[in-house]
Structure 1
């Protein structure tokens, strides 16, 4: 089912091609508006009050919060923006007092320890990664950008800046809500769009059955389900959904799970389905977007177990839509023991060591250069270690791609700022420039170089508003030094085997796949548990595949350590697809066909072979 893509002879190498690729999609106008209203008004208020330095701190916090302001529901933004902001404030407090009371050696040791801890924690997930990043950036700013205000004032200013953008995220209606049906509750527009996308993804998979697009469509369905699960799992005051609109969305999401299961089983069988089969999920998607009843659905087609499952799921969804009630959402929960296992595991140790070494080395080099007056006339040395923090993060892309994009973005941003600074009035023109850059951050987030360019202009504008002279040349030099540090540390051998994070992800996906298979073969009637295990299996696989794809785009010296893991993940994905097909067939007939059992046996044998081959390859590289 999966085919190995071969790179054309004239194609760019993966490590260079990744640096040139950018994400695509519609312009997030709501995030653009929030970005424009974030840093600029904070600076204006601070300048009017005569506290420019506090305004700079608040605007920096708003910028960092804007980087974490991603598409999704309003409630998930509380965790996505708020938790990293709290960590950033803690880092700012620690850096401020450590920079004022510790010597260079002790300060470097402290920052290195923070890097070790933040790096290890970052492997938990996206929010944890952003939390670790802001902790380190805050500590670098606190220690390396001494401000005239005491820490008990700068920390509340930082929290106020992040809180301002979060308030904008929660309170402002989206443009679509203003121009659309006023009967729709705009507070849930993110959740509504996420659930509707699930039904659209089911319809797209049904359309693609029997074609070469079926694999990609099934992966898109997994991504849509992941996004909807996250959108509906945001923090709330009560354990269960408390409003009618929220209960309705939970019921609609739950009704999509058996639809996705039936569509996956049909795709596994590669059996063409009637064109009208996809019309039902599309009508349900429109009903979700319009907050309306399901209405009439296409006539059923029940000639096959998977088609009967699809029809039953459509009828169940129509009933759930009309009733507006259903089972409460099952969210992805991790026990403290499992989180600690991830942080202290091989992946957490490897990333923690690299983050700690890069951050500590960046701080040490920056302090030496600062005290030795080796470059520039500015007094602040935060740029080099803060740059190293972003460069060392593997979830931002392959190492060389990050370095190339960072250098290009910093050089372009510094040159642009030098031109703006020469012609703009101060501070009014710089405040306008901060507002414009804040609006561009959500758009520039599609490419690391573009984001670096915008952030460079924004930060240089802020520090000039705070009273620091222009230092574009110095920022370019510090960026090049940070790139050199991260490249060296990124290629250093570490205790244990290289690529431990990739193997940990594959092992987690393997455990989730086999837990799902075991439950299905037990012929349990607990479908809620089955759907939960199925979601975890596909989600773990998606996370492993994303990490493998990033590792494959590294330089050959690093990419070879992930060789074979993509083959294991592909077999696991086919195993989970087959398990889903078995579950649907067992529901209908109570027994498996020889095709199912033979396919399961073949996949188990192939998985054992692939895992053994991957293990031998890794042992050879380690030797």
Structure 2
């Protein structure tokens, strides 16, 4: 983890690392002790894939995702095994192509579907590439047992930490709000506000299923819902204060942690808040900031702080909007390309290795995931991780071939993989490569394949990159354009909100706008990492997103009772942008915060006046 250049440190997930070590080592130990090594290895493969999809989201969502992934992988393994046992020369390639078509058709429909589709294809590659003795039903059940073990290890803390994940997510919003208030009036204000948006997005996703359920008064979940509703309103107030662009004193910056100490008293709130306020008290007012006595945002913060001691669940946005994926034509293109890449990889594997040529199509299934990360970066990390993993497991086997030592190495690599899936894909690939070598060796394949697997990985990555950038070079660009278009439309809906709209509707539109703008920013960053066609640059999507974020901040200030932003001058509107799905995009429409507004003689519009539009199509409302 790096701390330089403003990169925020992320704690090492020790609990997940421990789960990864136990989940991978336990089936192998049981298999060695009982003599059932083959089912144990298959259970280890299931645990390996389960560790790769373990996460820190709420326990029920985690168990549901792992369960769907396990079922898809087991069905894929069964289909591949039956195709291999049939003995027909076209059965294995046909099964792989059919699985690739099915996996590709669902992979761009959402994150959960993408994970299930990928593991369906992975199950088929293992089933068609590794002959397994015994009855046909045993391998799928063994693999599913490994996934169930990961589910049990991952979800067991629910028994004594039932809502701790939700509580931590809501608490993070208050901390992010305090950081944003601290950065107000500084060059880092917008970045801090974006971190607040990310914290709100995460808390909203974590709390999503609880927002539509009835809760009994006085319960922990009811208190969490009340704290989340206050957090939604705090986000609006904080955005307005950031838009005002004036530094705030410490007693204003400390309001969010004081509120958190009152609303979430049984956890690790900020030390300053614990020293300043007792759990049964709440700040009744926010002292005025010199020169800003008329600030509606400060008055709203004071009212919200006074209300926090009697927070009750209110009407809030029940679900975050699903961000747009590729259209049907793009889904069909990805499906066909994935199937072609898998077929070419399988033919190359049969030519190079004959049977047991699973590594090439398996690597294609892992690498060709344009919805997970830029394809070029993913391919490079896969190659680097494979080289390092081969070197690591090669060093271990040079020292010893003792079974228990190798199982210990699998446990260590399982812990590394659990960390890698949260921090760096190359690190996760390093651990996965080493574990697979041990598992295959325990199945009886003692061939020295170190150099062959490195070449196979490079060949599979080359197949994916050639197919992707030759036949679909604008995939990331198209998704970024769709995401940006949807985000700007959400910002316009928030801008056009009626003044007498219900608070629940206002917060829902505000959250949808900021959430989609954050997703669009990530999609644009994704597109910027992908090489495009020579001489073709990306439109100014990032400038448009920044302008829309500032517009939403200004609308938040307007909704709290203040004046809207001054009408932008010509210099505040950037050039028009164009995307693959829209011939007109918004310009970089700026807004003028109170501290930089024109003087009394400048023209101002009343709140009910019509919107002033930039020449590029981005409206700024008063």
TM-score by length of 2: 0.82
1:295 to 1:74, Cα distance in 2 relative to 1, 3 A: farther
Alignment of 1:267-346 (within 5 A): 267-287=242-262, 288=264, 290=266, 293=279, 295-297=281-283, 299-301=285-287, 303=293, 304-320=295-311, 325-327=312-314, 330-332=317-319, 342=325, 344-346=327-329
Q: Is 1:533–2:491 an aligned residue pair?
A: no
Q: How many residues align?
A: 563
Moved more, 242-251 or 447-456: 242-251
The Cα offsets for residues 131-172 of structure 1, whole Å up to 9 and x where unpaired, read as: 222122112112222211334222222221111111111114
Question: 2:170: which partner in 1?
Answer: 195
Q: Is 1:51–2:36 an aligned residue pair?
A: yes
Moved more, 103-112 or 499-508: 103-112
Moved more, 77-86 or 60-69: 77-86
- Cα drift, residue 358 of structure 1: 2.4
Highest Rg: 1 or 2? 2
* Aligned mate of 2:442, from 430, 444, 465: 465
Moved more, 72-81 or 402-411: 72-81
Question: 2:346: which partner in 1?
Answer: 363
In 2, are the aligned partners of 1:410 and 1:479 still within 8 Å (CA)? yes
The Cα offsets for residues 167-215 of structure 1, whole Å up to 9 and x where unpaired, read as: 11111479xxxxxxxxxx5222211111110000011111111111111
- Cα drift, residue 485 of structure 1: 0.3
1:402 to 1:571, Cα distance in 2 relative to 1, 3 A: same
Question: 1:232: which partner in 2?
Answer: 207
Q: Is 1:393–2:404 an aligned residue pair?
A: no
Q: Is 1:171–2:156 an aligned residue pair?
A: yes
Q: Is 1:216–2:194 an aligned residue pair?
A: no
Distance 1:327 1:453 in 2: 47
Q: Secondary structure at the match of 2:119?
A: helix
1:86 to 1:24, Cα distance in 2 relative to 1, 3 A: farther
Question: 1:454: which partner in 2?
Answer: 431
1:115 to 1:327, Cα distance in 2 relative to 1, 3 A: farther
1:506 to 1:347, Cα distance in 2 relative to 1, 3 A: farther
**Tell me, which stretches of 5 or more residues in structure 1 are unaligned?**
1-16, 175-184, 372-378, 619-623
Distance 1:407 1:103 in 2: 33
Question: 1:426: which partner in 2?
Answer: 402
- Cα drift, residue 273 of structure 1: 2.7
1:251 to 1:617, Cα distance in 2 relative to 1, 3 A: closer
In 2, are the aligned partners of 1:553 and 1:559 still within 8 Å (CA)? no
Question: 2:70: which partner in 1?
Answer: 85
The Cα offsets for residues 94-118 of structure 1, whole Å up to 9 and x where unpaired, read as: 2222333374545434433432442
Alignment of 1:490-505 (within 5 A): 490-494=468-472, 499-505=477-483
Distance 2:536 2:37 in 1: 51
Question: 2:103: which partner in 1?
Answer: 118
Question: 1:247: which partner in 2?
Answer: 222
Distance 2:127 2:489 in 1: 42
The answer to which structure, 1 or 2, has the higher relative contact order (CA under 8 A, 6+ apart) is: 1
1:442 to 1:494, Cα distance in 2 relative to 1, 3 A: closer
Distance 1:397 1:523 in 2: 41
The Cα offsets for residues 555-598 of structure 1, whole Å up to 9 and x where unpaired, read as: 3548946443323333332333333233223xxx6xx54x35x2
Distance 1:135 1:299 in 2: 57
Distance 2:473 2:187 in 1: 43
Moved more, 107-116 or 476-485: 107-116
Question: 1:140: which partner in 2?
Answer: 125
Question: 2:618: which partner in 1?
Answer: none
In 1, are the aligned partners of 2:261 and 2:279 still within 8 Å (CA)? no
In 1, are the aligned partners of 2:345 and 2:364 still within 8 Å (CA)? yes
Distance 2:65 2:249 in 1: 42
* Aligned mate of 1:204, from 140, 154, 179: 179
The Cα offsets for residues 369-403 of structure 1, whole Å up to 9 and x where unpaired, read as: 333xxxxxxx4211111111221123443333222
Question: 1:42: which partner in 2?
Answer: 27
* Aligned mate of 2:392, from 416, 426, 432: 416
The Cα offsets for residues 334-391 of structure 1, whole Å up to 9 and x where unpaired, read as: 7xxx89x8465344344334333323322232233333xxxxxxx4211111111221
Distance 1:35 1:393 in 2: 23
Distance 2:345 2:265 in 1: 49
Question: 2:458: which partner in 1?
Answer: 480
* Aligned mate of 1:545, from 496, 503, 521: 521
In 2, are the aligned partners of 1:383 and 1:478 still within 8 Å (CA)? yes
- Cα drift, residue 455 of structure 1: 0.9
1:545 to 1:506, Cα distance in 2 relative to 1, 3 A: same
1:576 to 1:313, Cα distance in 2 relative to 1, 3 A: same
Relative to its length, the structure with more helix (as a share) is 1
1:21 to 1:90, Cα distance in 2 relative to 1, 3 A: farther
The Cα offsets for residues 258-288 of structure 1, whole Å up to 9 and x where unpaired, read as: 1110100111121333321121211233452
Distance 2:330 2:174 in 1: 35
Distance 1:546 1:612 in 2: 16
**Tell me, which stretches of 5 or more residues in structure 2 are unaligned?**
268-277, 586-622
* Aligned mate of 2:577, from 599, 610, 616: 610
Structure 1 vs Structure 2 CA RMSD? 3.3
In 1, are the aligned partners of 2:129 and 2:357 still within 8 Å (CA)? yes
1:487 to 1:460, Cα distance in 2 relative to 1, 3 A: same
- Cα drift, residue 477 of structure 1: 1.7
Distance 1:361 1:544 in 2: 34
1:305 to 1:453, Cα distance in 2 relative to 1, 3 A: same
- Cα drift, residue 420 of structure 1: 1.3
